[in-house]
Structure 1
Amino acid sequence: MSFTTSPRAPGLRERKKAARHAAFVDAARELVRSHGLDGVTIEDICQRVGVSPRTFFNYFASKEDVVLGIGVEDGARSPIPVELVEAFAAGGPSGVLVDDLAALVASILDDPVTGPQRVECVMGIIEAEPRLIGRELRMMEERRIALQSLLERRELTAPTGIAPAVTASLLMAFVRAAVELWNESGQAGRAADYLPTTRDQLRRLVLLGEATPASSPSPNEPKEEPQ
């Protein structure tokens, strides 16, 4: 996938596709909760939705993907508006990397495919069907690679000297940390509302590391003899 998407508002066709996508996911999850993954077929899901298997494969590549809510077009779409993607790649919108990363994370958290509600639901399904974790991890890695590619574009315009691979991995942790704070609050408000706190704690962690005095010599290191 790549972080590019259409800036226009979704039309009637897109809204209908989104509704059909959601119907497939809801039906698959309901059936799997009742019968287990092995007890459900694609035909069962299609019968519940009222469509043919041919229609199913326009939306999902497999039974596992529909249960996890990973559509065939999800790899090509971005949870981040194209205007923000381009501004970030050009070194904006604020010019401060941590703040600009927070803006990206807010878009990710507000997206129905990548947002915390989906993550919470998927974790419950994986707990019951552990074999699905491999597919979920592959999707997460695809998103990390896409973020790294975007960071590589920005590094060409606004160099920081920080490896994009490192920043992309930290950004994934940034998302997780905001979701954890949101959960601890009883899921009050939006998960994105907890980004300022997450960002401030990250800055404090960095400053704490800079303020830490140099470590003492190892006990195995030879000590200098007094003159």
Structure 2
Amino acid sequence: MATTAPTAPGRRDRKKQQTRAALTAAALRLVDERGRDHVTVEEIAEAADVSPRTFFNYFATKDDALIGGPLPDGPSIHDRLLAVPAGVPLVRALLEAMTPDIADIQAERDVWLLRLRVIKSNPSLLPILVARGECAEEETIAAVAARTGLPADSMFPQLAATTVGAAFRTSMMRWATADEGVELIDLVREAFDLLGSGLTEPSPAHDEVIPTEPSPAPTHEEVTR
């Protein structure tokens, strides 16, 4: 059956995306400069050149604007994972399913790096971030369970989702401090390859044997002593 290509967003949708991005950028910039407790919704709205009422059309709270709202409509990781051919190993299949989201994050590198810095500087945001992570993890558990045919409450889907989530977060933290030319997808791929290997301990980068200094020959006095 032929599939139709997704249509490009219309003018109204593009305007919404621009407004949402402007509010997020304003919130992150102001909180980065002043701290979370010293920025109001009204100030964020003014910086984005919209009304506070418009702000609440996009975000329920100031923290939602900082952390980011739900991902745009599109295939979920559940649908994407099931679309990967059955013969592909699970870790590699999960990487393929997550690649569109990784590409979106890379495309908004400056915003994401600022967001990571804001979160690090404002620990009060961590509970919200953890809650968002738990929602994403539940979705991944359901996707893995559907692909493997296992119950969602069994050990394997839960451990798989937790493990790949940790690998992704580690990659994000490394990306936040990496050089500008480093791509997030490369770091995620490296992390997932390690998972796929069963976390086999890699060989040292340089197996150099440091020569030891030979002991000096004993003197005549030492031998006859």
Q: 2:126 maps to what in 1?
A: 133
How many percent of aligned residue pairs carry the same amino acid? 27
Deviates more, 1:122-131 or 1:111-120: 111-120
TM-score if structure 1 supplies the norm length?
0.70
Paired residue for 1:104, among 97, 107, 127? 97
Question: Which runs of 5 or more structure 2 residues have no equivalent in the other structure?
Answer: 202-225
Q: Paired residue for 2:53?
A: 54
Partner residue in 1 for 2:142: 149
In the TM superposition, residue 19 of structure 1 has moved relative to its aligned partner by 1.0
TM-score of the superposed pair, with normalisation by structure 2? 0.70
In structure 2, the residue corresponding to 1:111 is in which secondary structure?
A: helix
Task: Evaluate the alpha carbon distance shift between residue 94 and residue 187 of structure 1 in structure 2; reply closer, same or farther with a 3 A threshold.
Answer: farther
Structure-to-structure mapping, 1:1-227, within 5 angstroms: 7-68=6-67, 70-71=68-69, 74=70, 77=72, 82=75, 85-86=78-79, 88-89=81-82, 92=85, 94-112=87-105, 119-156=112-149, 163-179=156-172, 182=175, 186-206=179-199
Higher relative contact order (CA 8 A, sep 6+): 1
In the TM superposition, what is the alpha-carbon distance from 1:54 to its structure 2 partner? 1.6
How far apart, CA to CA, are the structure 2 residues paired with 1:189 and 1:87? 26
**CA shift at 1:116, angstroms?**
6.5
Shift of 1:146: 1.3
CA RMSD for the aligned pairs? Answer: 3.3
Contact 2:59 2:65 (C-alpha < 8 Å) held by counterparts: yes
Q: Which amino acid aligns with 2:88?
A: G
Report the alpha carbon displacement of residue 172 of structure 1 after superposing the two structures with TM.
0.7
In the alignment, residue 13 of structure 2 is paired with which amino acid?
E
Greater Rg over alpha carbons, structure = 2
Q: 1:87 to 1:42 in 2, by over 3 A?
A: closer
**Could you list the per-position Cα deviations for residues 66-92 of structure 1 after superposition, in whole angstroms to 9, with x for gaps in the alignment?**
122x23xx16x46xx629753522562
> CA–CA distance in 2 between the matches of 1:61 and 1:91?
35
Could you tell me how far apart the structure 1 residues matched to 2:45 and 2:91 are? 45
3-state SS, counterpart of residue 58 of structure 2: coil
Task: Name the aligned partner's letter for residue 184 of structure 2.
Answer: A
Aligned length: 195
Question: Aligned letter for 1:42?
Answer: V
Moved over 6 A (4+): 113-116
1:225 aligns to what? none
